[in-house]
Amino acid sequence: MNYDFIIDNGNIQKMVSYYHNYLEDTNDSRILYSFKSPDFKIIIYNTKKVLFQGKKNYDEYAKWAKVFGFEIIKQVDFSTYINEYASQRIIGSDEVGTGDFFGPVVVCAAFVTPSDKDLITELKVRDSKDLSDNQIIDIAKRLIEEFSYHVLVLPNEKYNSLISKGYNMNKIKAFLHNHAIKKMVEKHSDYQNIIIDEFCSPENYYKYLDGEKKIDNTKFHTKGESVHPAVAVASIIARYKFLLEMDKLSEKINIILPKGAGAPVDAVGKVIYLKNGKEIFNGIAKTHFKNFDRITK
């Protein structure tokens, strides 16, 4: 896998000075400089894009990304995808927002086939938890154009209503996953397996769905994003949709809502409470979280 970033003229000269012993001639009019060693090749284009290639390209990329203050993309180990699913057409499903006090729960199911391998590699698809929000946004914009998926956003009002009726978080997730997967099965009857990023035991998953039409041949894996890229694609799209929803909620109440459930959430929540009272939280937060009690006491 190759890595790249864009730099200014001053930083270009820093790299030229550092790699001058590896400078090679090039007749390509698109290239400003090219450096080659037994372990890497680095190309600096007229566009000021720097491309890192070769067996130790990640080491060089990470070193300079740190120097220039860029977000360092975590190295992807695609060997984790060499398993019984590698040659199959897979529907993968994942969710986000379940650990966040503010914002909805979002579930996405995505369809990935072996022919998508090059695109998966090009986009550096991996566990969304290893990506910054900016990286999520950049990658997801391509994913939603290139892959078939179905996404469900459960608004806070509906979520809180279900909790009040006796649903727990895992039952809610089971219903959302099952619905998204059914939609994908309707679109892709040629699928070979379904993988869910495991959040409860398979036995409990099917108990939650008693009385519902469900897909039975589903595989459950912890860290599903490392088992098949279909789950990673679903995870990134779900996270992207969650970020969009958080932006909408933040705009609605004119304050930036933090993610997670830690002290910053309580601090912002207290400001919202003092300004708007308790009722507003039903539409922007999961009110059974302990944060709600701490904020409103």
Residue 126 has pLDDT above 80, yes or no: no
Question: Average model confidence (pLDDT) for the chain?
Answer: 93
Between the CA of residue 96 and those of 24, 233, 279, what are the distances in Å?
Answer: 47, 13, 24
Q: For residue 233, how many C-alpha atoms fall within 13 Å in the half-sphere facing its CB?
A: 28
Q: Are residues 93 and 237 in the same domain?
A: yes
pLDDT of residue 223: 85
Cα gap 13→247, rounded to integer Å: 39
Q: Which has more confidence, 78 or 20?
A: 20
Cα gap 136→119, rounded to integer Å: 16
Q: Are residues 93 and 194 in the same domain?
A: yes
Q: Are residues 162 and 106 in the same domain?
A: yes
**Looking at residue 176, which CATH number applies to its domain?**
3.30.420.10
- 131 found inside a domain: yes
pLDDT for 261-287, tens place per residue? 999 999 999 999 999 999 999 999 999
Q: Which two tokens stand for residue 118?
A: 């090059």
Residues 6+ apart with CB under 8 A from 266: 291, 294, 295
**Looking at residue 50, which CATH number applies to its domain?**
3.30.310.10
Q: Which two tokens stand for residue 207?
A: 């108990």
pLDDT of residue 93: 97
Residue 129 has pLDDT above 80, yes or no: no
132 near 239, Cβ under 8 Å?
no
Q: Are residues 62 and 99 in the same domain?
A: no
pLDDT of residue 80: 65
Q: Which two tokens stand for residue 216?
A: 């039975």
Give me the DSSP letters along 208-253: HTTTS-----EEEETTGGGT-HHHHHHHHHHHHHHHHHHHHHHHHH
Overall number of domains in the chain: 3
Residue 294 has pLDDT above 90, yes or no: yes
- 115 found inside a domain: yes
Residue 78 has pLDDT above 70, yes or no: no
- 74 found inside a domain: no
- 184 found inside a domain: yes
24 near 33, Cβ under 8 Å?
no
- 145 found inside a domain: yes
Mean pLDDT value across residues 172-182: 97
Rounded to two decimals, the pTM is 0.77
Q: Are residues 219 and 269 in the same domain?
A: no
Mean pLDDT value across residues 76-105: 87
pLDDT for 15-59, tens place per residue? 999 999 999 998 899 999 999 999 999 999 999 999 999 989 999
Q: Are residues 90 and 111 in the same domain?
A: yes
Q: Are residues 134 and 219 in the same domain?
A: yes
- 76 found inside a domain: no
Alpha helices in the chain (DSSP H): 9-18, 57-68, 117-122, 133-146, 156-164, 169-187, 202-208, 229-253, 263-276, 290-296
Q: Are residues 243 and 260 in the same domain?
A: no
Cα gap 14→103, rounded to integer Å: 44
Q: Are residues 211 and 180 in the same domain?
A: yes
The 3-state DSSP class for residue 43 equals: strand
Cα gap 198→173, rounded to integer Å: 11
Q: Which letter, b or e, does each residue of 197-225 get, where b requires 16 or more Cβ atoms within 10 Å of its Cβ? A: bebbeeeebeebbeeeebeeebbebeebb
Mean pLDDT value across residues 239-253: 97
pLDDT band at 77 (very low <50, low <70, confident <90, very high): low
Q: Are residues 94 and 230 in the same domain?
A: yes
Q: Are residues 178 and 278 in the same domain?
A: no
pLDDT of residue 224: 87
Q: For residue 32, how many C-alpha atoms fall within 13 Å in the half-sphere facing its CB?
A: 15
Residue 237 has pLDDT above 60, yes or no: yes
Cα gap 128→133, rounded to integer Å: 9
Q: Are residues 108 and 235 in the same domain?
A: yes
Mean pLDDT value across residues 203-225: 90
- 77 found inside a domain: no
pLDDT of residue 124: 81
Cα gap 249→242, rounded to integer Å: 11
Mean pLDDT value across residues 244-251: 97
Q: Which domain holds residue 264?
A: 256-296
- 75 found inside a domain: no
